[in-house]
Amino acid sequence: MRIHKEGFRILLIALVLFGATCTLLWYFIGNVALFIALLLIIPLYIFMLRFFRVPKRRVNAYIERVLSPCDGTIVVIEEVDEPEYIRERCIQVSIFMSVWNVHINWYPIMGKVVYQKYHPGKFLVAWEPKSSTLNERTSIAVKRPDGVQILFRQIAGYLARRVVCYAKKGANAQQGQEMGFIKFGSRVDLFLPLNSTIKVSIGEKVKGTQSTIAVIPQK
Protein backbone atom coordinates (compact mmCIF):
# COMPACT_ATOMS: atom_id res chain seq x y z
CA MET A 1 0.00 0.00 0.00
CA ARG A 2 1.39 3.40 -0.99
CA ILE A 3 0.97 6.34 1.39
CA HIS A 4 0.11 9.82 0.11
CA LYS A 5 2.73 12.53 0.64
CA GLU A 6 0.23 14.62 2.64
CA GLY A 7 0.25 11.92 5.31
CA PHE A 8 4.01 11.62 5.85
CA ARG A 9 4.36 14.36 8.47
CA ILE A 10 1.16 13.47 10.35
CA LEU A 11 2.02 9.77 10.45
CA LEU A 12 5.57 10.46 11.67
CA ILE A 13 4.37 12.78 14.45
CA ALA A 14 1.69 10.26 15.46
CA LEU A 15 4.27 7.44 15.54
CA VAL A 16 6.58 9.46 17.81
CA LEU A 17 3.72 10.44 20.15
CA PHE A 18 2.33 6.93 20.30
CA GLY A 19 5.81 5.51 20.95
CA ALA A 20 6.49 8.01 23.74
CA THR A 21 3.10 7.32 25.33
CA CYS A 22 3.64 3.57 25.34
CA THR A 23 7.14 3.94 26.77
CA LEU A 24 5.94 6.17 29.61
CA LEU A 25 3.01 3.89 30.45
CA TRP A 26 5.25 0.84 30.52
CA TYR A 27 7.92 2.58 32.62
CA PHE A 28 5.64 4.18 35.24
CA ILE A 29 2.67 1.77 35.37
CA GLY A 30 3.66 -1.54 33.86
CA ASN A 31 2.89 -4.14 31.26
CA VAL A 32 -0.89 -4.08 31.75
CA ALA A 33 -1.10 -0.37 30.94
CA LEU A 34 1.15 -0.90 27.92
CA PHE A 35 -1.05 -3.73 26.66
CA ILE A 36 -4.23 -1.64 27.01
CA ALA A 37 -2.60 1.31 25.27
CA LEU A 38 -1.48 -0.89 22.37
CA LEU A 39 -5.03 -2.21 21.97
CA LEU A 40 -6.15 1.38 21.36
CA ILE A 41 -3.14 2.80 19.51
CA ILE A 42 -2.53 0.06 16.94
CA PRO A 43 -6.08 0.18 15.43
CA LEU A 44 -5.92 4.01 15.42
CA TYR A 45 -2.60 4.02 13.58
CA ILE A 46 -3.85 1.45 11.06
CA PHE A 47 -6.86 3.72 10.46
CA MET A 48 -4.54 6.68 9.83
CA LEU A 49 -2.45 4.63 7.39
CA ARG A 50 -5.63 3.61 5.58
CA PHE A 51 -6.86 7.21 5.42
CA PHE A 52 -3.74 8.34 3.56
CA ARG A 53 -3.68 5.39 1.16
CA VAL A 54 -3.20 5.97 -2.58
CA PRO A 55 -5.36 3.62 -4.70
CA LYS A 56 -4.22 2.22 -8.03
CA ARG A 57 -6.76 3.21 -10.68
CA ARG A 58 -6.80 3.29 -14.46
CA VAL A 59 -8.49 6.36 -15.96
CA ASN A 60 -10.42 6.11 -19.22
CA ALA A 61 -10.51 9.75 -20.37
CA TYR A 62 -13.45 10.91 -22.49
CA ILE A 63 -13.99 14.58 -23.28
CA GLU A 64 -17.77 14.66 -22.72
CA ARG A 65 -17.74 12.78 -19.43
CA VAL A 66 -17.39 14.43 -16.01
CA LEU A 67 -15.62 11.92 -13.78
CA SER A 68 -16.07 11.92 -10.04
CA PRO A 69 -13.38 14.12 -8.45
CA CYS A 70 -13.40 12.04 -5.26
CA ASP A 71 -14.70 8.99 -3.46
CA GLY A 72 -17.90 9.49 -1.47
CA THR A 73 -21.68 9.72 -1.47
CA ILE A 74 -23.87 11.98 -3.58
CA VAL A 75 -25.74 14.29 -1.18
CA VAL A 76 -26.96 17.15 -3.44
CA ILE A 77 -28.26 17.38 -7.00
CA GLU A 78 -30.04 20.65 -7.69
CA GLU A 79 -30.15 23.76 -9.86
CA VAL A 80 -28.49 26.78 -8.27
CA ASP A 81 -27.12 30.19 -9.15
CA GLU A 82 -23.32 30.05 -8.97
CA PRO A 83 -22.16 33.58 -7.99
CA GLU A 84 -18.40 33.18 -7.63
CA TYR A 85 -17.07 32.53 -11.13
CA ILE A 86 -19.55 31.08 -13.62
CA ARG A 87 -22.24 33.54 -12.49
CA GLU A 88 -25.18 31.77 -14.06
CA ARG A 89 -27.66 28.98 -13.39
CA CYS A 90 -25.90 25.61 -12.96
CA ILE A 91 -26.52 22.09 -11.78
CA GLN A 92 -24.80 21.51 -8.45
CA VAL A 93 -23.70 17.97 -7.59
CA SER A 94 -22.17 17.55 -4.14
CA ILE A 95 -20.18 14.56 -2.89
CA PHE A 96 -19.69 13.94 0.84
CA MET A 97 -16.42 12.26 1.79
CA SER A 98 -16.46 10.36 5.08
CA VAL A 99 -13.33 9.50 7.07
CA TRP A 100 -13.44 6.03 5.48
CA ASN A 101 -13.06 7.33 1.94
CA VAL A 102 -9.86 7.99 0.00
CA HIS A 103 -9.36 11.76 0.35
CA ILE A 104 -7.44 12.50 -2.82
CA ASN A 105 -9.16 14.86 -5.28
CA TRP A 106 -8.78 14.48 -9.05
CA TYR A 107 -9.60 16.67 -12.06
CA PRO A 108 -13.08 15.66 -13.32
CA ILE A 109 -12.51 16.93 -16.89
CA MET A 110 -9.63 17.71 -19.21
CA GLY A 111 -8.72 21.26 -20.20
CA LYS A 112 -7.00 24.31 -18.72
CA VAL A 113 -7.29 25.74 -15.22
CA VAL A 114 -8.84 29.18 -15.74
CA TYR A 115 -9.65 30.05 -12.11
CA GLN A 116 -8.34 29.09 -8.68
CA LYS A 117 -9.08 30.81 -5.39
CA TYR A 118 -8.73 29.87 -1.73
CA HIS A 119 -11.39 31.08 0.75
CA PRO A 120 -10.78 30.94 4.52
CA GLY A 121 -13.88 30.12 6.50
CA LYS A 122 -15.70 28.10 9.13
CA PHE A 123 -15.73 24.35 9.78
CA LEU A 124 -19.40 23.35 9.68
CA VAL A 125 -20.21 19.67 9.15
CA ALA A 126 -19.66 18.93 5.47
CA TRP A 127 -23.25 17.82 4.74
CA GLU A 128 -24.61 21.16 6.00
CA PRO A 129 -25.79 23.12 2.90
CA LYS A 130 -24.20 26.36 4.16
CA SER A 131 -20.78 24.68 4.25
CA SER A 132 -20.55 25.25 0.48
CA THR A 133 -20.25 29.01 1.00
CA LEU A 134 -19.20 29.43 4.66
CA ASN A 135 -16.50 26.79 5.22
CA GLU A 136 -12.82 26.92 4.33
CA ARG A 137 -12.72 26.02 0.63
CA THR A 138 -10.86 26.27 -2.64
CA SER A 139 -12.66 26.88 -5.93
CA ILE A 140 -11.19 25.70 -9.25
CA ALA A 141 -12.59 26.18 -12.76
CA VAL A 142 -11.44 24.14 -15.75
CA LYS A 143 -12.29 24.96 -19.37
CA ARG A 144 -12.36 22.16 -21.92
CA PRO A 145 -10.80 22.62 -25.39
CA ASP A 146 -14.31 23.16 -26.82
CA GLY A 147 -15.02 26.03 -24.40
CA VAL A 148 -17.23 24.17 -21.92
CA GLN A 149 -16.20 24.99 -18.37
CA ILE A 150 -17.12 23.71 -14.93
CA LEU A 151 -16.38 24.89 -11.41
CA PHE A 152 -15.62 22.52 -8.57
CA ARG A 153 -14.98 23.32 -4.95
CA GLN A 154 -12.99 21.54 -2.25
CA ILE A 155 -14.73 22.15 1.09
CA ALA A 156 -13.32 21.50 4.55
CA GLY A 157 -15.62 19.82 7.06
CA TYR A 158 -15.94 19.67 10.84
CA LEU A 159 -12.96 17.30 11.08
CA ALA A 160 -11.23 18.32 7.86
CA ARG A 161 -9.38 21.49 8.72
CA ARG A 162 -6.96 21.69 5.86
CA VAL A 163 -7.69 21.83 2.15
CA VAL A 164 -4.68 21.16 -0.07
CA CYS A 165 -4.92 22.29 -3.70
CA TYR A 166 -2.28 21.67 -6.37
CA ALA A 167 -4.19 23.43 -9.18
CA LYS A 168 -2.62 26.59 -10.59
CA LYS A 169 -4.29 29.06 -12.93
CA GLY A 170 -3.05 28.54 -16.48
CA ALA A 171 -1.97 24.94 -15.90
CA ASN A 172 -3.16 22.07 -18.06
CA ALA A 173 -5.59 19.70 -16.36
CA GLN A 174 -5.58 16.04 -17.32
CA GLN A 175 -8.79 14.16 -16.57
CA GLY A 176 -8.13 11.90 -13.59
CA GLN A 177 -4.90 13.71 -12.62
CA GLU A 178 -4.44 14.39 -8.92
CA MET A 179 -5.61 17.91 -8.09
CA GLY A 180 -5.53 18.07 -4.28
CA PHE A 181 -6.24 16.47 -0.93
CA ILE A 182 -8.61 17.20 1.97
CA LYS A 183 -7.63 15.96 5.41
CA PHE A 184 -10.22 14.05 7.51
CA GLY A 185 -13.86 14.22 6.30
CA SER A 186 -15.02 16.75 3.75
CA ARG A 187 -17.01 17.53 0.60
CA VAL A 188 -16.58 18.41 -3.06
CA ASP A 189 -19.14 20.46 -5.03
CA LEU A 190 -19.39 20.41 -8.82
CA PHE A 191 -21.16 23.15 -10.78
CA LEU A 192 -22.15 21.94 -14.25
CA PRO A 193 -23.91 23.51 -17.25
CA LEU A 194 -27.69 23.10 -17.42
CA ASN A 195 -27.41 20.94 -20.55
CA SER A 196 -25.50 18.30 -18.59
CA THR A 197 -27.02 14.81 -18.37
CA ILE A 198 -26.62 13.73 -14.75
CA LYS A 199 -25.66 10.06 -14.35
CA VAL A 200 -25.88 9.73 -10.56
CA SER A 201 -28.61 9.93 -7.92
CA ILE A 202 -28.88 11.05 -4.29
CA GLY A 203 -27.34 8.51 -1.92
CA GLU A 204 -25.26 6.83 -4.61
CA LYS A 205 -21.68 5.85 -3.76
CA VAL A 206 -19.13 7.11 -6.29
CA LYS A 207 -15.45 6.41 -6.86
CA GLY A 208 -12.99 9.10 -7.92
CA THR A 209 -11.79 8.84 -11.56
CA GLN A 210 -14.02 5.78 -12.08
CA SER A 211 -17.65 6.95 -11.71
CA THR A 212 -19.29 9.19 -14.32
CA ILE A 213 -21.08 12.10 -12.66
CA ALA A 214 -22.47 13.67 -15.84
CA VAL A 215 -22.12 13.94 -19.59
CA ILE A 216 -21.75 17.41 -21.13
CA PRO A 217 -22.12 17.47 -24.93
CA GLN A 218 -19.43 19.23 -26.95
CA LYS A 219 -20.15 22.65 -28.39
Name the pLDDT band for 130 (thresholds 50, 70, 90).
very low
Classify residue 181 by burial, with Cβ atoms within 10 Å: 0-12, 13-18, 19+. buried
Backbone angles phi, psi at 205, to 5 degrees: -85, 135
Counting DSSP H helices and E strands in the chain, the numbers are 3, 16
Give me the mean pLDDT over the 137-165 stretch.
85
- pLDDT for residue 135: 67
CATH architecture assignment, domain 65-215: Distorted Sandwich (2.70)
Distance CA 133, CA 135 (A): 6
Distance CA 210, CA 56 (A): 11
Give the residue from 58, 51, 72 showing the smallest Cα distance to 3: 51
Q: Is the pLDDT of residue 174 over 90?
A: yes
Give me the mean pLDDT over the 156-175 stretch.
81
Active-site pick, 186, 196, 201, 211: 186
Q: Is the pLDDT of residue 127 over 80?
A: no
What is the reported pTM? 0.84
- pLDDT for residue 126: 45
pLDDT in tens, 93-108: 999 988 888 889 999 9
Q: Is the pLDDT of residue 18 over 60?
A: yes
Catalytic residue flag (residue 186):
yes
Q: Do strands 65-67 and 88-97 pair parallel, antiparallel, or not at all (unpaired)?
A: unpaired
Classify residue 171 by burial, with Cβ atoms within 10 Å: 0-12, 13-18, 19+. middle
Q: Is the pLDDT of residue 124 over 80?
A: no
Cβ proximity of 119 and 189 under 8 Å: no
